[in-house]
Structure 1
Amino acid sequence: MLEPVYQADVVVVGAGIAGLSAAHHLTSAGVTTAVLEAAPCVGGRMSTEKVDGFRLDRFGQLLSTSYPELRLTPGLDALVLRSFAPGVLLHHDGRRHRAGAPAGTGSARGALHAVRALAGAPRGSAAPGARTGARSLDIGTPLRLRALLGRIATTPVERLLARPELPAAQALVARGTPARTVDGFLRPLLAALLCDPELTTSSRCADLALRSFAAGRLCVPEGGAEVLPELLAGALPPGTVHTGVRVTSVSTTSVTTAEHGEIRCRAVLLATDARAAAELLPGLRVPDFHPVTVVHHTTDEPPATGTSLLLDADRGGPVAHTAVVSEVDPSRAPAGRALVSSTVLGAPPEGVDTAVRMHLSRLYGTPTDRWETLAVHHIPEAVPAMRPPHDLHRPVRLLAGLYVCGDHRDTSTVQGALHSARRAAAAVLADLGATGSMHRADPLPAFRKAA
């Protein structure tokens, strides 16, 4: 019998970083792949708005130089990461204190070298104007903090995952961690890393987040969050990615689109967010989500915190963390202007911009009433919740011919999205028996962007 005619080996639904990364793994194995995206551009939540020479991330998810997938994913060779200063600045009782920085720069430098194209990242140092000498934040001695972070950085992942699983806040107390260390350092840090201010996240996921923080440096992509998906899309074979194409149904051998009817294939990989995936495949679990609001301001007199990430240990306002991001990545603001980007976790308060300005004035120790608001981006379903029990490797193979990937299948991070894409592509290739160039019978339709 003749093999049924198809138009691509694999159709990937969704052109976020998970779908684009999976497409790279598939095309590298000789599998013809079509990536269909309903939006007019790639990237999903990792998008960047351009306003008067500023580059404003809609969702400023923090990355780490210790993320393995950033160097393992094809297409990211040209990625440049800009690092924050080592550790973080903690605001407590009207003062700022550095915490979590390694004893020297050696460990941070080693982590930087582990990521390609990172040579241009600025070297962080103690933030100018941060008053750290007069009085220290009571979170434990620097040596004890370094020892804590050093232990978790070198603990094998298997051992971390073997620990009893609790909500992160409960686990920190159950392990006997001093309350001053939890409240003064670990809680604000983990809230920033997990976008979960109440630390309801699985303790195993929290341990992995701490391990990444301790083993590397927090960073952002040069040019904005959109650079990651744009690099991935640009490095795929021409004609692979098609935007403005809405998929209305899927099966193991085809997808149906609103614009072009049915497209036949040998396998379908859903790489959308969790809710969109469940709409196409009723029965898929939709997790709860953590909402995130990002507020961008500009001023011609930047606060003197250098390239540091500033966290509020007192939880004295809506801002969980903030930074003069143009100091970290100068490409994000025009010359002579500073870009201050601040993140609010959970439901934003009424009059969020006014509340954020008041809080920033206390955090930075400077008036903010003359700062200009550039944008307020609220994403109600920004980060899938990872409450216990949380499966860190949810199945990516639903059945032969139908697969799913995204940050809702691993950890709710860029690392998790990229890793789930690798797992899904491996499952597809194993089922297809891909050993080289695959058969392709009919051309794809002439895709056009939706009007």
Structure 2
Amino acid sequence: MSGIDADVIVVGAGIAGLRCAAALRLRGLSVRVLEADAVPGGRIRTDVIDGFRCDRGFQLLNPSYPAVKRHVDVDALDLRVAGRGVRIVDDSGDARTIADPTRHPRLLPETVRSAFGVGLLRPLAVAGAVRWAVPAVGPVRRLAAAPDAALADDWDRLGLRGPLRDSLLAPFLSGVLADGVGDTSDRYVRLVLRSFLLATPGVPNAGMQAFSEQLARTAGVDIAYSTRVEEISDGACPSVRTADGAVVRSRAVVVATDSVDAAALSGSATSPMRGLSTWWFEADGLASDTFLRVSGVGGVVVNTAEMSSIATGYAPPGKTLVQATTLLDDTGPAPETQVRAELDRLWGTTTASWRVITRHDIRRALPRQEPGTPLRRPLQVGERLVFAGDHRDTPSIQGALVSGGRAAARVARLIA
């Protein structure tokens, strides 16, 4: 086909787009990636401010993801893992530790005391939790084919109620799912649980941006940064028009943006997205702690962590960096006074002297995964127009990587 600039144009240098580009190159196809931002990564970015590394949202990389094992050099990222467990803080500010005894054997006595103290070991709730969790450790295909429901409804059905649900599972999963009401697909949440059971997530010592940059380097393709795509024309010889008026032609186009931009560029319906706000504080008065903290009594802060203890590269020497994440909806971010008041309780100290380094309001943090949504959705949305992104698979790094590979395979078949 004459008059083309590349075999395939990939719109977006996020995780899905970079994986797709790498897979296409390995198939011997020429690829041009067009990225609106000045750096790769899409939603996985890190801002360096006054020597602090502040990821755009509280993000973790799970080394147990199969696609991460296949396509990412985790050792080169110098992954630093968090404590395997959580600290549950009650309304009086008492923190109780629930830790995995295989990773933290010295904390076993404290974990047992905490479990009894919080009331996590009520027999009916424990039985319900076991019935809920068992499918997560079975074959993925069986889990994917199982009936689906809203997470909260399935917990009700199984009798998973009380402190085990309200003080541990719900607060922990709220930040992971960007969902405070429990209407996420239970089938998907069990996959999330599976990933946490298999490995402890962490962060690259240089920030999550290091993960994105590694994918961009290994993709080995031409990436045009600061190049926003405004229009896509489908057909036998599809093309894209950029903000500066340039037209780039190809044999196929992969739209690897988030679901909102993908819908706008293609005219095809996609999943809506949930939002999160992440506050980054320069803190003082804290002892080193690698465990995630959650509130056992509710509140706007869904989790908080001392990032400089998990990964020393996140802060200058002698400094402390704390993140706090809240849900973000149409009403806007939570008031700073409310966030600080809850952090006072969660950390057992005053935060009045803590400096806000930055706050990231990420309105498009994760695609919604509603009950009944297939774990894999169709990619081709036009004659030679294909989607890639975590809105086509699961809302996760695993989903983004898998969708990128699937999109490359689909495109290869289209233009063969």
TM-score, L = length of structure 2: 0.90
C-alpha contact 1:75 1:235 (8 A) present in aligned 2: no
1:386 CA drift (Å):
1.2
Aligned to 1:381: 364
Q: Which residue, out of 70, 73, 80, partners 1:72?
A: 70
Comparing 415-424 and 84-93, the one that deviates more: 84-93
Structure 1 residues 278-314: Cα deviation after superposition (integer angstroms, max 9, x where no partner): 12111x114332110000111243245x111111121
Aligned to 2:36: 38
Comparing 252-261 and 3-12, the one that deviates more: 252-261
1:50 CA drift (Å):
1.2
Distance 2:136 2:101 in 1: 14
| Matched letter for residue 164 of structure 1 | P
User: Is 1:139 paired with 2:134?
Assistant: no
Q: Which residue, out of 140, 153, 157, partners 1:174?
A: 157
Aligned to 1:98: 97
C-alpha contact 2:32 2:223 (8 A) present in aligned 1: yes
Partner SS state of residue 37, structure 2: coil
- Show structure 1 runs of 5+ residues with no match: 106-122, 434-451
The 3 A distance-change label for structure 1 pair 124 and 426 is farther
Aligned to 1:336: 318
User: Is 1:259 paired with 2:258?
Assistant: no
Aligned to 2:303: 321
Aligned to 1:48: 46
1:371 CA drift (Å):
1.2
Distance 2:254 2:115 in 1: 57
Distance 1:84 1:221 in 2: 11
Structure 1 residues 77-115: Cα deviation after superposition (integer angstroms, max 9, x where no partner): 73332211112222234322233x44413xxxxxxxxxx
Distance 1:418 1:323 in 2: 27
Q: Which residue, out of 427, 431, 445, partners 2:414?
A: 431
Aligned to 1:206: 189
The 3 A distance-change label for structure 1 pair 349 and 135 is farther
Q: Which residue, out of 240, 244, 268, partners 2:253?
A: 268
Q: Which residue, out of 269, 285, 310, partners 1:285?
A: 269
| Matched letter for residue 161 of structure 1 | A
| Matched letter for residue 4 of structure 1 | S
C-alpha contact 1:165 1:202 (8 A) present in aligned 2: yes
| Matched letter for residue 429 of structure 1 | A
| Matched letter for residue 97 of structure 1 | R
Distance 1:161 1:234 in 2: 33
The 3 A distance-change label for structure 1 pair 75 and 272 is farther
- Show structure 2 runs of 5+ residues with no match: none
1:150 CA drift (Å):
7.2
C-alpha contact 2:8 2:253 (8 A) present in aligned 1: yes
The 3 A distance-change label for structure 1 pair 244 and 275 is same
The 3 A distance-change label for structure 1 pair 351 and 33 is closer
Superposition pairs of residues 358-373 of structure 1, within 5 angstroms: 358-373=341-356
C-alpha contact 2:263 2:270 (8 A) present in aligned 1: yes
Partner SS state of residue 381, structure 2: strand
The 3 A distance-change label for structure 1 pair 61 and 350 is closer
The 3 A distance-change label for structure 1 pair 147 and 204 is closer
Alignment RMSD (CA, Å): 2.8
Equivalenced residues, count: 408
Superposition pairs of residues 207-222 of structure 1, within 5 angstroms: 207-222=190-205
Structure 1 residues 166-195: Cα deviation after superposition (integer angstroms, max 9, x where no partner): 111111111232433222222112212211
Aligned to 1:446: none
C-alpha contact 2:259 2:273 (8 A) present in aligned 1: no
The 3 A distance-change label for structure 1 pair 150 and 395 is closer
Distance 2:319 2:111 in 1: 21
C-alpha contact 1:168 1:206 (8 A) present in aligned 2: yes
Q: Percent identity?
A: 35
Aligned to 2:328: 346
C-alpha contact 1:307 1:323 (8 A) present in aligned 2: yes
Distance 1:257 1:350 in 2: 33
Partner SS state of residue 331, structure 1: helix
The 3 A distance-change label for structure 1 pair 218 and 134 is closer
Distance 2:345 2:86 in 1: 17
Distance 2:79 2:170 in 1: 26
The 3 A distance-change label for structure 1 pair 82 and 258 is same
